[in-house]
Structure 1
């Protein structure tokens, strides 16, 4: 259950962040801009429950269950190459990923709310196009959203470590 943030807590959080971003955008904080950025999830459905993320571009160490931003590849025509997407890492190199009608599992554990292949019909493709049983190669990661209609690795496959921008922290 999500707790509603009080106005005072929101202002205590938002004002320093707004000041930081003013420095970054205003040019006075080029070092800050090199390390941090704000990301906005372009998807219609908020697959992680948030739309705005604070991104630490120096933190690229993958961690299962952590949220990361990456440059999309192979997601056309829905997102152009290099669109920044933000998802949760569920699969790491060496992991076994199985995708089928019933959902996604990594090393035998079901990925939460990645139920089936809900978007296959929307994408005008048979579910069989997306079913797989594979092991992730070195430098490859499996990214998932947390809604059945998340456009994620179920549909476009793995993300290479070179595409990872940095760790993302949800803001709102």
Structure 2
């Protein structure tokens, strides 16, 4: 056999197939992109959050599966902001456990009047929503959540974005100090 022809056959046997080269290149680009995202998050102080309930097919309270969140950059959340907080002690056996990280939307702040009567919620005399879970919480009846009060300084009323949300309608308000960050929905 011609030594040059033998070298060509050996080179073909040792060459990497085109599909494998493509896969290696694709993975390398993905790893670089992931590294850039991680470095960017570290430099900006942003974090990525995942709505695990939505991920596993349970009723979810966030409008998205993924969100960015960052530490508070101002003193008082505004209505409509998405905030990250720790779940308070509720005394009820549903929803997140005490201390779990939750993401909810600010529905009322200092000076707003919050009125719950039976299964209906009004904020500043405007019918806002219902208490959809009030009949399904063990040991509780719709009237057990009634309140009529004006929010005081640093008090925040939080609501999820779905009717199944376990939120301030059931466990009350949070103090501003209990907010650990702000969320930005992504997907």
TM over 0.5: yes
Cα distance change on mapping 1:145 and 1:138 into 2, 3 Å: same
Cα distance change on mapping 1:74 and 1:22 into 2, 3 Å: same
The Cα of 1:39 is off from its aligned counterpart by: 1.9
2:59 is matched with: 45
Q: Distance in 2 between matches of 1:147 and 1:37?
A: 24
Q: SS of the counterpart of 1:128?
A: helix
Q: Distance in 2 between matches of 1:135 and 1:20?
A: 47
Q: Any gaps of 5 or more consecutive residues in structure 2?
A: 1-30
Report Cα offsets for 1:23-56 as digits up to 9, x if no partner: 378xxx3x54xx3212223443222321221002
Backbone CA RMSD of aligned residues = 2.7
Q: Distance in 2 between matches of 1:95 and 1:162?
A: 18
1:145 is matched with: 160
Output the TM-score relative to the length of structure 1: 0.74
Residue 72 in 1 paired to residue 82 in 2?
no
* Equivalent pair of 1:40/1:53 in contact (CA under 8 Å): yes
Residue 129 in 1 paired to residue 144 in 2?
yes
| Higher helix content, 1 or 2 | 2
Q: Distance in 1 between matches of 2:32 and 2:167?
A: 33
Residue 56 in 1 paired to residue 70 in 2?
yes
Residue 100 in 1 paired to residue 114 in 2?
no
The Cα of 1:72 is off from its aligned counterpart by: 1.2
Residue 36 in 1 paired to residue 46 in 2?
yes
Q: SS of the counterpart of 2:170?
A: helix
Q: Any gaps of 5 or more consecutive residues in structure 1?
A: 1-14
The Cα of 1:166 is off from its aligned counterpart by: 1.5
Output the TM-score relative to the length of structure 2: 0.69
* Equivalent pair of 1:41/1:84 in contact (CA under 8 Å): no
The Cα of 1:58 is off from its aligned counterpart by: 3.3
Q: Decide which of 135, 159, 171 is 2:174's aligned counterpart.
A: 159
1:22 is matched with: 38
2:185 is matched with: 170
Q: SS of the counterpart of 1:162?
A: helix
